[in-house]
């Protein structure tokens, strides 16, 4: 079917592709095993995933189902755990901005320019649909395009 030269070229190409893919996979930062998802009013959804080592206190956060600049954008945020809640913050206009506060199964989302908090609740079904590695891949692809 293939000539010897074409067969060797095909095998070499497959080997090189596989090793390049493995190198890329090796460079992926560690993430948590589970995506945690929250739902809010009018179809709002928020997904969170630990990003990096636990000690780095970072997470990926994606907001979806809302008419806002942040819709479907995955952002890396700083995570601060207190005795009462967990706070996710990013920078807005060069200043720290707390975008999400979670207390147990409930939380509030604060979007820049919205002027009010949006109540959220933990969504087990949505969380179970999440895949940590796919979420990370989406973030890495988004970052590469910026």
Q: What is the pLDDT of residue 19?
A: 39
Do residue 58 and residue 125 come from a single domain?
yes
Neighbours of 77 (CB within 10 A): 21
CB 123, CB 38: distance < 8 Å:
yes
- Number of domains comprising the chain: 2
Do residue 63 and residue 21 come from a single domain?
no
pTM of structure:
0.81
Query: Which structural domain range is residue 55 located in?
Result: 36-145
Query: Which residues, other chains included, contact 79 with Cβ-Cβ below 8 Å and sequence gap of 6+?
Result: 50, 57, 58, 59, 86, 87, 88
Q: What is the pLDDT of residue 25?
A: 52
Mean pLDDT by runs of 10 across the 146 residues of the chain is 50 44 64 97 96 97 95 97 97 96 97 93 97 97 89
Q: What is the pLDDT of residue 6?
A: 52
């Amino acid at each position: 079917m293939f000539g010897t030269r074409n067969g060797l070229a095909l095998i070499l190409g497959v080997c090189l592709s596989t090793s390049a893919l493995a190198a890329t996979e090796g460079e992926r930062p560690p993430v948590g095993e589970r995506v945690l998802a929250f739902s809010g009013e009018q179809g709002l959804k928020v997904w969170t995933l630990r990003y990096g080592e636990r000690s780095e206190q970072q997470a990926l956060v994606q907001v979806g189902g809302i008419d806002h600049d942040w819709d479907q954008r995955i952002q890396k945020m700083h995570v601060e755990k207190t005795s009462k809640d967990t706070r996710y913050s990013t920078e807005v206009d060069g200043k720290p901005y707390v975008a999400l506060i979670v207390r147990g199964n409930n939380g509030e989302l604060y979007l820049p320019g919205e002027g009010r908090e949006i109540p959220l609740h933990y969504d087990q079904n949505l969380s179970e649909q999440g895949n940590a590695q796919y979420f990370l891949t989406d973030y890495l692809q988004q970052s590469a395009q910026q």
